[in-house]
Amino acid sequence: MIENLKEVFDKFTNDFHKFDMIKNPLSKRPDLCALMLLDKLVPGSNDIFAGADHDVVYFDIDQDELAEAATEDDVLYLVRCGVILDPDGFMMFV
Domain enclosing residue 42, as ranges: 5-93
pLDDT value for 51? 95
pLDDT tens string, the chain, 94 residues long: the values are: 999 999 999 999 999 999 999 999 999 999 999 999 999 999 999 999 999 999 999 999 999 999 999 999 999 999 999 999 999 899 999 8
* CA angle centred on 77, ends 75 and 83, rounded to 5°: 70
Split into its structural domains, the chain has a count of 1
Q: What gap in Å lies between CA 65 and CA 90, rounded to an integer?
A: 13
| 56 HSE (CA, 13 A, CB side) | 12
According to the model, what pLDDT value does residue 88 have? 86
**Which residue from 18, 84, 14 is spatially nearest to 55, judged by alpha carbons?**
84
Q: Provide the pairing of β-strand 49-53 with 56-59.
A: antiparallel
Closest CA to 85 of 19, 33, 16: 16
